[in-house]
């Protein structure tokens, strides 16, 4: 898959930008604060309908456009996929500096955000991602959930439903605690929580198995054959690796119900759901040692790099198509050997889009296959 | 920009504000409606006012089905031509309008006026569930159709009702879920298609 056309209107520091892309890698270069990352962000929004940088979508609107009446912030992208071309458009209307309407269209037909996720898959790698190994568990869950949502629409559905049940159930627990509701009203929510939760647990494990298949080889190469990397899933509800999917479904469902029963008193007292995959974690083990705790920063960076490359492989295996890879100023953080290895790895993928402040840090063999775009103050040269 | 206050006649400003409070009407539409009314003949404006007042003064809740009605009991509950052994349970009065539009349903209704939603502080006791149960005990009901929406809260409510009604020995059914009529398989989302497959039936 690759992007063939991008159009930005009043997005961040771009007033109007129109770009055609050939089926090639793209190197975006330029000095700091010119708008390189904004381009990657726009692409990422087309893929997921949301930004990885901010939850406040007001930031998307170009400052000078905020005061203009009836103006609009718009991102349009055309993508060439094996099953045919696809056009994604995201419009944001605003009044008095507030976004009043966000509309998403796929091939000019209005769609919900959940229908867009999975249409155009991308793997993003940026400096903040190094926190994946050592940061709080919620970062890892979010990462896991995004990968699965992109390749399995039912996963996204179960996740949204699970989160909604969680909110409702937590409120109900508080009402019961205050004596305003009865404990038997929990039955429906317990049932929904466990059915959707089991789907999440099983598919998280499945994805981790899938990523582990390719991450081992990738990490071996990156670490000069010395070390082995493995993802380990730590579900709150234990899993039987030897059993079949069907057996596990029943096994985990049974355990889920049992634990909900056992912890009901504690949950009512806390006003919080304490059992379930919303509290899961997974860890990165290098030679069986947790790299998030004991690894150096350099080692953590290589770990995340290997995971992201394995994610591209996994996505290809599941959907039949390689995702577009976005690398935001990553090369400057790698030593020369790893920089070269990364570029050699990704060069065979359909399209890599990377940003850099210094184009000379990029190996000539990669530059030869790339389109070079220079960004100066919201314009492309 | 100057700092003079915008000079708008007080009655106009007030009406714009009132329209703006209505659902689905933003500041622009509120202005448009207001200036449209300014040019409207006075008798039309009076008719509009009377209609608004009438829905506040002349409408009551039917003491049987809880629907909004001019009479108590409502026309549907009073009708001898309708099937009094069948009750369709809906979330709000608008759902009755939708059901009546199909003209194929000849039973009675019961309006819950909401659904169970703990995050909004709405529990079973806030809905017209007690009234429904007392109806089922006194009326000759054979079947209850649960027609709450097919979202999480609608299903929570349907499940709750089913548990209460089944022990009374009354048949409980739920509206089918699946593909919308006239839709194409190719464009159906996967979840809908999965549900439709699960709910398939012999022809």
Instruction: Extract the tokens encoding A184.
Output: 């038997």
Give the residue-averaged pLDDT of A296-319: 93
Give residue B133's domain range.
82-174
Percent of chain B predicted with pLDDT > 70: 97
A373: which strand partners? A28
- Give the pLDDT score at B6: 66
Is B184 within a domain? no
Instruction: Extract the tokens encoding B196.
Output: 């439709």
Instruction: Extract the tokens encoding B74.
Output: 């409502």
How far is the alpha carbon of A173 from chain B, nearest alpha carbon, in Å? 9
Q: Is residue B111 domain-shared with residue B38, that is, in the same domain?
A: no
Asked casually if ipTM beats, i.e. exceeds, 0.85, the reply is: no
3-state secondary structure of A189: helix
Binned at pLDDT 50, 70 and 90, residue B132 comes out as very high
Instruction: Extract the tokens encoding A110.
Output: 């209005």
Nearest CA to B145 among A186, B62, B136, B137? B136
- Contact between A185 and B123 using a beta-carbon 8 Å cutoff: yes
3-state secondary structure of B155: helix
- Contact between B189 and A164 using a beta-carbon 8 Å cutoff: no
Neighbours of A257 (CB within 10 A): 15
Q: Is residue B91 domain-shared with residue B169, that is, in the same domain?
A: yes
- Give the pLDDT score at A262: 93
Q: Is residue B166 domain-shared with residue B114, that is, in the same domain?
A: yes
Residue A61: DSSP 8-state: B
Which of these CATH numbers, 3.40.50.300, 3.40.50.2300, 1.10.1530.10, 2.60.410.10, describes A1-121+322-381?
A: 3.40.50.300
pLDDT digits (tens, 9 = 90+) for A262-272: 999 999 999 99
Instruction: Extract the tokens encoding A236.
Output: 């709150």
Binned at pLDDT 50, 70 and 90, residue B5 comes out as low
Q: Which residues from A are below 8 Å from B123, CB to CB?
A: 175, 180-181, 185
For residue B102, give the CATH number of its domain.
3.40.1360.10
Is B198 within a domain? no
> Based on the structure, what is the number of domains in chain B?
2
Is B92 within a domain? yes
Q: Which residues from A are below 8 Å from B119, CB to CB?
A: 167-168, 171
Q: Is residue B53 domain-shared with residue B88, that is, in the same domain?
A: no
Q: Quick one: which H or E segment has residue A306? A: helix A297-319
Homologous superfamily assigned to A131-320 = RecF/RecN/SMC, N-terminal domain (1.20.1050.90)
Question: What residues does each domain of chain A span?
Answer: 1-121+322-381, 131-320
- Of residues B89 and A220, which shows the higher confidence score? B89
Is B4 within a domain? no
Residue A246: cis peptide before it, omega within 30 degrees of 0 = no
Q: Is residue B23 domain-shared with residue B93, that is, in the same domain?
A: no
Q: Can you give the pTM of this predicted structure?
A: 0.85
pLDDT digits (tens, 9 = 90+) for A58-72: 888 888 777 777 778
Is B179 within a domain? no
Q: Tell me which chain B residue has its CA closest to the CA of residue A193.
A: B152
Q: Is residue B47 domain-shared with residue B105, that is, in the same domain?
A: no
Is B190 within a domain? no
Q: Return d(Cα B38, Cα B151) in angstroms, integer.
A: 43
- Contact between A153 and B118 using a beta-carbon 8 Å cutoff: no
Q: C-alpha angle with apex B75: B71 to B76, nearest 5 degrees?
A: 135
């Amino acid at each position: 898959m690759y992007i063939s056309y991008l159009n930005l209107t009043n997005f961040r520091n771009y007033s109007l930008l129109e770009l055609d892309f050939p089926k090639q890698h793209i190197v975006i270069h330029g000095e700091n604060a010119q708008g390189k990352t904004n381009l990657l962000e726009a692409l990422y929004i087309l893929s997921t309908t949301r930004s990885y940088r901010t939850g406040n979508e007001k930031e998307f609107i170009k400052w000078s456009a905020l005061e203009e009446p009836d103006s609009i912030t718009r991102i349009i992208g055309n993508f060439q996929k094996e099953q045919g071309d696809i056009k994604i458009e995201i419009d944001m209307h605003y009044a008095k500096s507030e976004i009043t309407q966000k509309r998403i269209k796929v091939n000019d037909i209005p769609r919900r955000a959940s229908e867009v996720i999975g249409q155009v898959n991308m793997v993003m790698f940026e400096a903040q991602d190094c926190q994946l190994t050592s940061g709080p568990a919620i970062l890892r869950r979010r990462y896991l959930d995004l990968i699965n949502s992109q390749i399995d629409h039912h996963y996204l559905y179960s996740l949204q439903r699970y989160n909604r049940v969680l909110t409702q159930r937590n409120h109900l627990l508080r009402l019961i605690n205050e004596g305003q509701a009865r404990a038997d009203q929990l039955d429906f929510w317990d049932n929904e929580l466990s059915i959707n939760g089991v789907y999440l647990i099983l598919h998280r494990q499945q994805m981790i198995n899938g990523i582990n298949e390719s991450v081992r080889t990738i990490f071996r190469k990156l670490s000069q054959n010395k070390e082995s990397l493995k993802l380990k899933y730590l579900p709150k509800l234990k899993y039987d690796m030897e059993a079949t999917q069907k057996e596990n479904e029943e096994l985990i469902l049974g355990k889920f119900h049992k634990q909900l029963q056992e912890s009901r008193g504690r949950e009512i007292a806390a006003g919080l759901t304490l059992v379930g995959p919303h509290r899961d974690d997974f860890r990165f083990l290098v030679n069986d040692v947790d790299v998030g705790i004991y690894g150096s920063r350099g080692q953590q960076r290589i770990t995340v790099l290997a995971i992201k490359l394995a994610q591209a492989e996994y996505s290809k295996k599941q959907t039949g198509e390689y995702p577009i890879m976005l690398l935001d100023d990553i090369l400057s953080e790698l030593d020369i050997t790893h920089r070269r290895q990364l570029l050699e790895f990704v060069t065979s993928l359909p399209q890599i889009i990377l940003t850099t402040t210094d184009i000379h840090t990029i190996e000539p063999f990669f530059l030869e296959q790339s389109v070079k775009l220079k960004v100066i103050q919201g314009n492309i040269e | 920009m100057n700092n003079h206050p915008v000079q708008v006649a007080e009655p106009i400003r007030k009406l714009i504000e009132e329209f703006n409070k209505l659902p689905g009407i933003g500041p622009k539409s509120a202005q448009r409606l207001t200036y449209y009314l300014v040019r409207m003949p006075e008798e039309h404006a009076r008719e509009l006012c009377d209609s608004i007042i009438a829905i506040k003064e002349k409408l009551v809740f039917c003491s049987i089905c809880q629907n909004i009605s001019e009479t108590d009991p409502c026309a549907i509950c009073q009708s001898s031509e309708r099937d009094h052994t069948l009750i369709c349970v809906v979330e709000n009065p608008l759902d009755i309008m939708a059901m009546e539009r199909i003209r194929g349903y000849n039973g009675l209704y019961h309006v819950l006026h909401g659904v169970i939603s703990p995050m909004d502080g709405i529990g079973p006791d806030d809905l017209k569930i007690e009234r429904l149960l007392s109806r089922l005990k006194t009326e000759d009901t054979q079947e209850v159709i649960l027609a709450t929406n097919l979202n999480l809260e609608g299903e929570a409510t349907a499940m709750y009702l089913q548990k209460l009604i089944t022990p009374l020995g009354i048949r409980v059914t739920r509206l089918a879920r699946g593909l919308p009529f006239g839709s194409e398989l190719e464009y159906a989302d996967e979840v809908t298609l999965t549900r439709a497959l699960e709910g398939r039936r012999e022809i």
